[in-house]
Structure 1
Amino acid sequence: MTVSVVKVHIGTLSDFPLQLGKTVEAGTLELAVFQTSNKQFKAIENRCPHKGGVLAEGMVSGNHVFCPMHDWKIDLSSGNVQAPDHGCVKTYETFVEGDNVFILLPS
């Protein structure tokens, strides 16, 4: 089964400071987008699975974001919450073309 995706422009490189989150709306989705310290872009759903904390406001360390409400540590690549906590957020593929940042969303 082939899943169809759509490429959505979410900003330019200068819109995303290193190691800070930014809330981005893409269609009906609210995403947290991060440029990690190694300049990779990561996009996840913007609500912590625990109590709904806004993940774009969390502290970024390496490839993880810490929920600003209760400090849950979430992997930006897999969306998995680090043990002993448990849960997962959806992740979305991102890529850069020139100065533009895009996300792939199911259509």
Structure 2
Amino acid sequence: MSWIDIGHIEDIPLHGARVVKTPVGCVALFRTGAAEVFAADDRCPHKGGPLSEGIVHGQSVTCPLHNWVFDLNTGQAQGADEGRIGTYPVRVESGRLLIDGDAIGKRSAA
């Protein structure tokens, strides 16, 4: 894995999100706890809604357009067999957010 420093955990409000722009599209960072952050695609596969503008609850996010709920651990939509978003390894070290650049590089532009 190739870890890339993308900012401080305090840059993301608790139960909120921020977007990181990559060469192949936007990745949303969701802060679900004091020291817990998930990284996933920012685009809902249903209607393209910006997930970073959705509601973060537990370890899930709800799309702001049509209320699809995604598990941030797996990317799977709850109650929808075909709905899935990409998820990416992210970790917190000394308050800094690190994302796996190799995993981001493997995603395809949509």
TM-score, normalised by the number of residues in structure 1 = 0.87
Whole-angstrom CA distance in 2 between matches of 1:39 and 1:86? 31
Aligned to 2:108: none
Aligned to 1:103: 99
Amino acid at match of 1:90: G
CA contact 2:4–2:101 (8 Å) conserved in 1:
yes
For structure 1, which runs of at least 5 residues remain unmatched after alignment?
none
Higher helix share: 2
Cα offset, 1:27, TM superposition: 3.8
Matched residue pairs, number? 103
Does residue 68 (structure 1) correspond to residue 49 (structure 2)? The answer is no
Whole-angstrom CA distance in 1 between matches of 2:25 and 2:93? 22
Aligned to 2:28: 32
For structure 2, which runs of at least 5 residues remain unmatched after alignment?
106-110
Identity %: 37
C-alpha RMSD of the superposition: 1.6
Runs of 4+ in 1 over 6 A off after TM superposition: none
For 2:2, what is the secondary structure of its paired residue?
strand
